[in-house]
Structure 1
Amino acid sequence: MPATDTSVARRFGRLLRAGLGRPSRGAAVAWVPLAAVICGLFTGALASRAAWETSRPQPDRAEAAAILTEVFPGHDLGDIDTPPALFVVYGHALRLNTVKTLVFGDGGEYQESATGATAFGAPPVPAEQIVAVAQERLTGAGWRVYAPQVSGGFTCADKMCATPQAITNTTVIARRGDTILNASISTQTAFDATYLSVELHRAPPPLVVPAGVLGTLLGAVAGWLVFGWVSRRVEGRRRRSPVNILIGVTVVLWWLPVLLAAPQLLRHHLGEPHPAWHPFWEWLGQPAASLLFLVGAVCTALALALAVPRSASSPTD
């Protein structure tokens, strides 16, 4: 091959390696893979949230009333409360005026909604009987019933709480098809307190898992290409240090919530029955840590701006 052709081939090879996102030397060898993986996780979470839109709406009053009458006969559950959207913040649909709530501390309140009903006062029959009847009726109606969870506590008979009373709360969880039932039965006897609380909500639709997996893979590849390109664009230039610092800050801000939230959620899942896993984004600490995500995104944007070719720049720029 002529020398000229060899030179062109080598130059093309260098451009191709740079375009494929192979990180340069130094700190980039560490932060490019970490940034690529977290980009994949964020993209997968976003894709899984989009797939949630294929879910059926939460049970309406007619569906909820039929279930409640069948499972809890003889209990006055009052009005059935239906949610305004599939996911809510403090019971309200997400709107532009609630974005501030997500970003500044209350992002954990963004969660799947539920159709609910409650019964007040003293239980008409012992709480143990309510639990036993509910389990029997759920099983007979084709629900998969999980082991009940029992916890203890105290309530006050008067405002001064001079005579605290021990109470027991039992949680019954069941699933049939894509519908999940959570019921809490209490032994409390106060007329203005709740002895029975029931929530009905949908399980994740089938598309959530494949959408999350595909989104994670595509996002990781895109992250590798982008961050690898950035690292090679600033290699041997004065802009290398600030870019490394900016991307390093991004990696820390994006990974820290994952390292805190994932182990906590795993313990939570192992500690009690779950008919369905928590949404993908909650394992990443989102949107509870959305402020950290946004700061990291700004750092990434600045790093990209520094890496963009400048026609008037010197080679050491």
Structure 2
Amino acid sequence: MSATVTSVARRFGQLPRGLLGRPSRGAAVVWVPLAAVICGLFSGALASRAAWETSRPQPDRAEAATILTTVFPGHDLDEIDTPPALFVVYGHALRLNTVKTLLLGDGGEYQESATGAAAFGAPPVPAEQIVAVARERLTGAGWRVYDPQVSDGISCADKTCATPQAITDTTLIARRGDTILNASVSSQTAVDATYLAVEVHRAPPPAVVPAGVLGTLLGAVAGWLVFGWASRRTEGRRSHGAVNVLFGVATVLWWLPVPLVAPSLLHHHLGEPHPAWHPFWEWLGQPAASLLFVVGAVSALLALGLAALPRRDRSPVTLAS
């Protein structure tokens, strides 16, 4: 009887550690913390995306027309395009029929929308003058104007490019309140090309950062508890190896885009002005790498399903003395 009681006590004594998410021995010591961290990051990205819904709608035609008339007087920017949603895929609102687009390599096209307008043909005045006037008017209207970014290029006057022409493209960025202006001014002179393109859009609302931080913390804790529970529940069972492999695959697929995307995105941020940081999920390679995320999620769900199967003890505990 004493041996039976001791065995039962040992079993119940292991429950708190499992419930607290402490991983079992072996490979789980590595993949459980990694899975918990990446789950926290995914949760934070999802929470920040939800917080984006507190943003004001993108500027309508009236607001955009006021800005364009003030900043770029004398330019034909009357044709103003307004977006159908706050975030779009190839200019269209996200729908069920666009999920295929996200999963099959074009997830990077999921971006914040903008209200825009463009002017075509040869610039009526030199491009440098357009930029100088715009900077002066933006500053006078209370905008914070960032240093223009100038790049050189080549333009062709005909299809054979018999007379290539050197051109400059200047990017002008400014912010006022929660509104950001991006303008591209080109010195090209082709009749059917764009010499001025302007977009105005909203900056991330204040709720995005705290939502992302809170979501990350809660997601990491939940991941630690769930994955730690799964690793300890399968300890000593035949399914333990399969669970480790499935969770390992999920962890690798979830983490794979991060070291590839995050450094290049940081370099991009440091290399040019940014009134607002790119959305949280882009730093995780999402949804550009959404197919990897989905396959990893399926692997994790299979592993959790195996862990949730009833335990079959080889030597059941009896309460008989």
Query: What corresponds to 2:23 in structure 1?
Result: 23
Q: 1:62-84 CA deviation, whole Å, 9 max, x = no partner?
A: 00000000000111113000000
Which stretch shows the higher mean deviation, 154-163 or 274-283?
154-163
Contact 1:237 1:315 (8 Å CA) reproduced: no
Question: Given the two structures, how large is their TM-score scaled by the length of structure 1?
Answer: 0.96
Q: Counterpart of 1:58? A: 58
- 1:10 CA drift (Å): 5.4
In structure 1, distance between residues paired with 2:60 and 2:279: 22
Q: Deviations over 1:166-204 (max 9, x none)?
A: 110000000000000000000000111000000000000
1:204–1:276 Cα contact (<8 Å) kept: yes
Q: Which residue of 1 aligns with 2:283?
A: 283
For 1:134, the equivalent position in structure 2 comes to 134
Deviation for aligned residue 1:233: 0.9
How far apart, in 2, do the equivalents of 1:99 and 1:11 lie?
A: 46
Q: Which secondary structure state, in structure 2, belongs to the residue aligned with residue 21 of structure 1?
A: coil
1:236 deviation in Å? 1.4
Matched, 1:204 2:204: yes
Find the counterpart in structure 2 of residue 249 from structure 1.
249
Q: Tell me the secondary structure at the aligned position of residue 256 of structure 2.
A: helix
Offset of 1:155 from its aligned partner?
1.1
Counterparts of 1:102-251 in structure 2, within 5 Å, are 102-251=102-251
CA contact (8 A) 2:65 2:78 kept: no
Contact 1:234 1:240 in 2 (8 A): yes
Partner Cα distance (2:153, 2:232) in 1? 60
The normalised TM-score by structure 2 is 0.95
Distance 1:136 1:220 in 2: 48
Over the matched positions of the two proteins, sequence identity in percent amounts to 82
Taking the aligned partners of 1:254 and 1:202, their CA distance within structure 2 comes to 30
The answer to whether the 8 A contact 2:36-2:219 is kept is yes
Q: Which amino acid aligns with 1:183?
A: A
Residue type at the aligned position of 1:217? L
Gap runs ≥5 in structure 1: none
Q: Give distance in 1, aligned partners of 2:160 and 2:309.
A: 71
Q: How far off is 1:6 after superposition?
A: 8.4
Equivalent-residue separation in structure 1 for 2:94 and 2:9 (angstroms):
54
Deviation at 1:231, TM superposition (A): 0.5
Deviation at 1:309, TM superposition (A): 3.4
Correspondence list, 1:40-79, <5 A: 40-79=40-79
Output the aligned Cα RMSD.
1.7
Q: Secondary structure at the match of 2:76?
A: coil
CA contact (8 A) 1:184 1:198 kept: yes
Q: Is residue 79 of structure 2 the alignment partner of residue 87 of structure 1? A: no
What amino acid sits opposite 1:293 in the alignment?
F
Question: What stretches of structure 2 of length at least 5 have no aligned partner?
Answer: 316-321
The amino acid across from 2:174 in the alignment is A
Correspondence for 1:37: 37
